[in-house]
Amino acid sequence: MSFLQQRFPLQIAFGMSGGPQWQTQIATMTNGKEARNGTWSQARRRYDAASGVRSLADLQQLFVLFAAAKGRLNGFRFQDPFDYCSCVLPGPPTPQDCLQAFATGSLESRYQLVKVYRPSTMQSESAQEALETESQWNQWGKRAITRPHQDSLLIAIEGVALPSNTYSLDVASGQFYFLQGSVPAKGARITAGFTFDTPVRFDSDTLEVTMESFEAGQLPTIPLIEIIEAELPQIDWSSP
């Protein structure tokens, strides 16, 4: 099992269907009331690649990737056309988009990139303005970002953008850190903006297509499923 740095063909991705999925357990009481429990801390995304195939060339590209991935074995990058930026599309991202953490003050610290899904009424506000309390943070949707785009990361400390030569990003994990001489003071608010891919794999070991079904525009489902590679980091709200 490994991860391919190859990206799913963009022209197919733009025609695909799919999106986030949660797992909720629901128990119905004798009086008709419900008890609901969410078992996942972040959503897992599913997609159907078949709906994005428009030509024989598209299908051939899909076969090439399927062979490299060896069915369900290996993961690869997928740019979700509806969710690939820290900000509201079409962007661009800004260094104040999403709260990441409160600085530890240590050169050794690594911070996991996180996208925060803020309510639409607050999208015009920066993370510096909108994220005031721990209760707000806990209510909003979040996801750990492990496959950011190279050179896309923008960072701000207490709302002030930093030069790109003061921090470094690992594009294979989504973790960033500050370089010697640029470590922010303990408790400083770190925000970031970025673009990213979703790590996925094929959810089938078989890819069956006939020329008749292709010409009729009736390809069978070609499922992709997100690979959850990191847990959501916990923010120490006692630091500020």
Contact 231, 146 (CB under 8 A): no
Residue 228's Cβ-count burial label (10 Å; 0-12, 13-18, 19+) is middle
| Residue 89 domain-assigned (yes or no) | no
Residue 54 CA to residue 215 CA, distance in Å, equals: 10
Calculate ∠ Cα 52-83-237, nearest 5°: 155
Same domain, 59 and 132: no
Bridge partners (DSSP) of residue 188 are none
The CA-atom distances, in angstroms, between 68 and each of 61, 141, 186 are 11, 33, 45
- Whole-number pLDDT of residue 116: 92
Tell me how far apart the alpha carbons of residues 194 and 234 are, in angstroms, rounded to a whole number. Answer: 20
Indicate if 110 and 61 belong to the same structural domain. no
pTM value is 0.87
60 and 106 assigned to the same domain:
no
pLDDT digits (tens, 9 = 90+) for 18-30: 999 999 999 999 8
Residues 103 and 187 in one domain: yes
Instruction: Name residue, tokens 């030509």.
Output: 55
Q: Do 143 and 165 reside in the same domain of the chain?
A: yes
**75, 118: one domain:** no
Q: Is 37 helix (H, G, I), strand (E, B) or coil?
A: strand
Are 187 and 211 within one domain? no
Supply the range of the domain harboring residue 179.
98-193
Is the pLDDT higher at 102 or at 238? 102
130 in the same domain as 189: yes
Whether 138 and 208 map to the same domain: the answer is no
Give the pLDDT confidence of 31-47 residue by residue, as tens digits. Answer: 989 999 988 889 999 99
Same domain for 57 and 11, yes or no, is yes
Q: What is the DSSP letter of 74?
A: S
Tokens 């590679």 belong to which residue?
Answer: 229
Secondary structure element (H or E) that encloses residue 111, with its range: strand 111-112
Calculate the average pLDDT of the chain. Answer: 87
Residue 202 near residue 223 (C-beta atoms within 8 A): yes
Alpha-carbon distance of 99 to 192, in angstroms, equals: 7
Model pLDDT, residue 104: 92
Domain assignment present for 92 = no
Structure confidence at residue 7 (pLDDT): 93
- Give the pLDDT confidence score for residue 126 in this predicted structure: 52
Q: Has residue 91 been placed in a domain?
A: no
Per the CB < 8 A criterion, the answer to whether 147 and 158 are in contact is: no
Query: How many angstroms from the chain centroid is the CA of residue 136?
Result: 20
Vertex 151, ends 146 and 154: CA angle to 5°?
Answer: 80
188 lies in a domain? yes
Tens-digit pLDDT profile for residues 41-74: 899 999 998 888 888 888 889 889 999 999 999 9
Query: Could you report the per-residue pLDDT of 147-158, keeping only the tens digit for each?
Result: 999 999 999 999
Q: Kindly state whether residue 232 falls inside one of the protein's structural domains.
A: no
Same domain, 111 and 55: no
Check residue 135 and give its pLDDT: 75
Whole-number pLDDT of residue 122: 52
> For 213-234, how does the pLDDT look when each residue is reduced to its tens digit (9 = 90+)?
565 556 778 899 999 999 988 8
Res 215: pLDDT: 59
In a domain, 235, yes or no: no
Domain for residue 154, yes or no?
yes
pLDDT for 73-102, tens place per residue? 999 999 999 999 999 888 799 999 999 999
Hey, how many other C-beta atoms are within 10 angstroms of the C-beta on 190? 23
Give yes or no for a contact between 39 and 23, defined as CB atoms under 8 angstroms apart: yes
What percentage of the chain has pLDDT greater than the value 70?
Answer: 89
> How many domains would you assign to the chain?
2
**Is residue 113's pLDDT more than 90?**
yes
pLDDT tens, residue by residue, 174-217: 999 999 999 999 999 999 999 999 999 999 998 877 666 565 55
Which of 15-19, 102-106, 144-148 has the highest mean predicted lDDT (pLDDT)?
A: 144-148
Task: Verify that 117 and 170 share a domain, yes or no.
Answer: yes
Residue 65 lies in a domain: yes
